[in-house]
Chain A
Amino acid sequence: MINTATNAIEIKNLVVSFPTPAGYSAVVRGINLTINPGDRVAIVGESGSGKTMMGLSMLGIQPTAAKVEGEILIGDVNMVTAADAVARKLRGNYISMVFQEPLTSLNPVRTISSQLSESVRRHNSISKKEAEARVLAVLTAVGIPAPKERMKSYPHQLSGGLRQRVMIALALINKPQLVVADEPTTALDATIQAQILDLLRSGMGDAALMLITHDLAVAADVCNRIVVMYAGNIVEQGPVAEILSNPKHPYTRGLLSAIPKFDQARPALNPIPGAPPTISEVVPGCRFASRCSYADAQCTASEPEFINNIACFHPVTGAVK
């Protein structure tokens, strides 16, 4: 039905906005991004930077209040304008999502197995028995202990870690080409996070991955490309090694130095001061300027364009500390 030869998804000038008393305000402000088959791209940024809204729009499941403009091309289908039936067919089968909050995205009154097998049977004409076998297989693959018994559980009976595994199982069960994983490991502890990151890194067959996270270490762990978002814009992108060893945008550098390290001196952590602008706040210059130690008059006067993979008037060179 669709041509998947060149890339998994291509996003052109994507704008997502919400109505506010002052008019529509954009939370995703004109993003261009291409993900190739098998690619593992991390979207990194603070809370509220628009990562989830971008992810949701890619599946065409943004909140009803949101207005989405631009193009999201999967083969020759534009998810922004596609008919409901077309978009629904692509969801699950071609592109699927692992959500940030597993408890609110699972139906509390239905068993794990009935939710998973319904998803299988919606896209494949197979018997109930075959569907259940597939459910069991995928639950085992995502590392759920005693999957046979757990299948009959309800979401609230599982611990947070298990629920997230169920969510990943739900995303993988129809063997999609692109999985959007929105903070899939935020609630998990280290060894489970490592396993799930492992799963995302190498257990997904040919599926491309878009991993949404606020932790650069998690991004570096799983992905080969990092895209840094700030307040609705992409401010820097590049291969993992490049971003880690030579981050150019002051914001990327701020994120890197905020990560606690195994530092024997235990110096105070380095948070980025202040908070990002609210969505309806009109900022004339660079949206990071008020928190940036490199900002000057130019930064507060006009907005830097995204050129050569960075949107900053004063790119910095060299590693962070």
Chain B
Amino acid sequence: MSPDKKLINAVDLSVTFKVPSGSLRAVDTVSFYVNAGETVAIVGESGSGKTTLALSLMRAYAPTSGNLFFEDEDITHLSEKALKDFRKKVQMVFQDPYSSLDPRMTVSQVIAEPLRAHFKLSANERDEKAGESLKAVGLSPDFLNRRASQFSGGQRQRIAIARALALDPKVLVADEPVSALDVSTQAQIVNLLQSIQEERNISYILVSHDLRLVYHLATRVVVMYLGKVVEEGACDDVVANPQHPYTAALLSAVPALDEASRRDRIVLNGAPPSPIARPTGCSFHPRCPIARPECSTNTPELQTMPNGRKVACFYPGELQPHISFTSSK
């Protein structure tokens, strides 16, 4: 496979939910792709549609409009039956390691569940495969017969990752995989995800609100605001030189150990608007520190800049955060 082959490719994807007060466009004409072996991070406000996007990339929802391709095949309207191969190659790790594992199942049942859906294996073969998966995430195969409910959050997340790896997927969608864990356990899981990627050349789609982690793991970043992509680019680039003021604010809001970052913080005024009552013009304008009058009337389109960066703002690059980079090189 050529290195730049698009595995998952979404074109102008929209997802609309029916809510009592009308309809809510949680994902609004988003284009998104992930190449083999790369890690694309989706960052953005709470409620900006990250989870909805991640789930619709997995065809958990049928998109309202737009198209979804997997390995160049259009899977937008495929039935569950026809999706079988896709379901095998694209796996997910959820945020909450407590509710994502059935508490009544043993670890071996948990890990074997996806195997059962796709292969006819004897109980022994399944156990063996489950044991291998468990080893791959740094847990002892002795755990196989214990119930998932007996484990700590970090161990459960390892089990969830083992389950996702059991089918040897090409893409792993991880929705906030470490945000329920404490800092030290986070570091363990992040290192684990990284070493798995090095071994297996899996692509990751990483939903996270922790930009420190995103910087650490991702090759490319997609920034969402109110269901739309407002900025996209190579991770290094976006962090070092954010173009959209929201990205700048997001970066500057990272809790920092150093005084200077904290002092020069860009604090956003106001609150995120609801996707039901979307502001006119640029959706970000009510909170934007550099908004001009035209921002409330004209809508900035997502434009591709010469270096391949994409940004939806009339004044790209104007607002810059203070970030303290370190280098251990």
Minimum distance in angstroms from B163 CB to a CB of chain A:
21
Minimum distance in angstroms from A196 CB to a CB of chain B:
10
- Which stretch from A19-27, A89-97, A254-262 is at the chain B interface? A254-262
B124 interface residue per 8 A CB criterion: no
Given A47-B181, A265-B327, A269-B191, also A260-B213 (CB < 8 A): yes
B153 lies within 8 A of A188 (CB): no
Chain A residues positioned under 8 Å from B326 (CB to CB): 261-264
A63 interface residue per 8 A CB criterion: no
Chain B residues positioned under 8 Å from A221 (CB to CB): 255-256, 262
A266 interface residue per 8 A CB criterion: yes
Interface centre among B250, B252, B255 (most CB of A within 10 A): B255
- Which stretch from B27-35, B76-84, B125-133, B267-275 is at the chain A interface? B267-275
Chain A residues positioned under 8 Å from B153 (CB to CB): 47
A75 interface residue per 8 A CB criterion: no
Chain B residues positioned under 8 Å from A146 (CB to CB): 274, 277
Given A193-B255, A264-B329, also A160-B46 (CB < 8 A): yes
Chain B residues positioned under 8 Å from A47 (CB to CB): 152-154, 181-182, 185
- Which stretch from A80-88, A270-278, A296-304, A309-317 is at the chain B interface? A270-278
Query: How would residues 174 to 194 of chain A score, 1 for a CB under 8 Å from any chain B CB and 0 otherwise?
Result: 000000000000111111111
A271 lies within 8 A of B216 (CB): no
- Which stretch from A64-72, A121-129, A209-217 is at the chain B interface? A209-217
Chain B residues 226 to 250 lying within 8 A of chain A, measured CB to CB, are 236, 239, 246, 249-250
B209 interface residue per 8 A CB criterion: yes
A144 interface residue per 8 A CB criterion: yes
A220 interface residue per 8 A CB criterion: yes
B216 lies within 8 A of A192 (CB): no
Chain A residues positioned under 8 Å from B190 (CB to CB): 260, 269
Interface size on B, residues (CB 8 A): 57
Bound Cα distance from A191 to B21, whole angstroms: 27
Pick from A187, A192, A268, A271: contact of B184, CB below 8 A: A271
A197 interface residue per 8 A CB criterion: yes
B184 lies within 8 A of A145 (CB): no
B194 lies within 8 A of A260 (CB): no
Minimum distance in angstroms from B8 CB to a CB of chain A:
23
Bound Cα distance from A198 to B249, whole angstroms: 14
Chain B residues positioned under 8 Å from A48 (CB to CB): 152
Chain B residues positioned under 8 Å from A266 (CB to CB): 215-216
Minimum distance in angstroms from A61 CB to a CB of chain B:
22
Chain A residues 223 to 247 lying within 8 A of chain B, measured CB to CB, are 244
Query: How would residues 156 to 184 of chain B score, 1 for a CB under 8 Å from any chain A CB and 0 otherwise?
Result: 00000000000000000000000111111
Bound Cα distance from A214 to B183, whole angstroms: 6
Chain A residues positioned under 8 Å from B239 (CB to CB): 262
Chain B residues positioned under 8 Å from A194 (CB to CB): 252-253, 255, 265, 267-268
B183 lies within 8 A of A258 (CB): yes
B188 interface residue per 8 A CB criterion: yes
Q: Which residue on A lies nearest to B195, using beta carbons?
A: A268
Chain B residues positioned under 8 Å from A132 (CB to CB): none
Bound Cα distance from A214 to B254, whole angstroms: 15
Chain B residues 248 to 293 lying within 8 A of chain A, measured CB to CB, are 249-257, 262, 265, 267-268, 270-274, 277
Q: Which residue on B lies nearest to A146, using beta carbons?
A: B274
B47 lies within 8 A of A264 (CB): no
A267 interface residue per 8 A CB criterion: yes
Chain A residues positioned under 8 Å from B43 (CB to CB): 189
Interface majority SS on A: helix, strand, loop or mixed? loop
Q: Which residue on B lies nearest to A291, using beta carbons?
A: B184
Minimum distance in angstroms from B261 CB to a CB of chain A:
9
A161 interface residue per 8 A CB criterion: yes
B146 interface residue per 8 A CB criterion: no
Chain A residues positioned under 8 Å from B274 (CB to CB): 145-146
Chain A residues positioned under 8 Å from B185 (CB to CB): 46-47, 271
Chain B residues 271 to 329 lying within 8 A of chain A, measured CB to CB, are 271-274, 277, 323-329
Chain B residues positioned under 8 Å from A198 (CB to CB): 267
Bound Cα distance from A189 to B180, whole angstroms: 13
A218 interface residue per 8 A CB criterion: yes
Given A145-B274, A261-B212, also A195-B267 (CB < 8 A): yes
Q: Which residue on B lies nearest to A160, using beta carbons?
A: B46
Chain B residues positioned under 8 Å from A187 (CB to CB): 179
B12 interface residue per 8 A CB criterion: no
A285 interface residue per 8 A CB criterion: no
Minimum distance in angstroms from B203 CB to a CB of chain A:
18
Given A160-B46, A190-B250, also A258-B255 (CB < 8 A): no
Q: Which residue on A lies nearest to B188, using beta carbons?
A: A271
A308 interface residue per 8 A CB criterion: no
A265 lies within 8 A of B328 (CB): yes
Minimum distance in angstroms from B259 CB to a CB of chain A:
8
Chain A residues positioned under 8 Å from B46 (CB to CB): 159-162, 188-189, 192
Minimum distance in angstroms from B274 CB to a CB of chain A:
6
Given A145-B272, A270-B187, also A263-B327 (CB < 8 A): yes
B68 interface residue per 8 A CB criterion: no
Interface centre among A194, A220, A270 (most CB of B within 10 A): A194
A-B contacts, 19 listed (Cβ < 8 Å): A47-B152, A143-B271, A144-B271, A161-B47, A189-B43, A189-B250, A191-B253, A193-B255, A220-B257, A221-B262, A255-B183, A255-B184, A260-B212, A261-B212, A262-B212, A263-B328, A271-B184, A271-B185, A275-B152
Interface residues of A (CB under 8 A from B): 46-48, 143-146, 159-162, 186-195, 197-198, 214-218, 220-221, 244, 254-256, 258-272, 275, 321
12 further A-B contacts with Cβ under 8 Å, apart from A190-B251, A262-B324, A263-B325, are A46-B185, A47-B153, A189-B45, A192-B45, A216-B183, A218-B255, A220-B255, A244-B257, A255-B183, A260-B187, A269-B187, A271-B186
Interface residues of B (CB under 8 A from A): 43-47, 152-154, 179-188, 190-191, 194, 209-213, 215-216, 236, 239, 246, 249-257, 262, 265, 267-268, 270-274, 277, 323-329
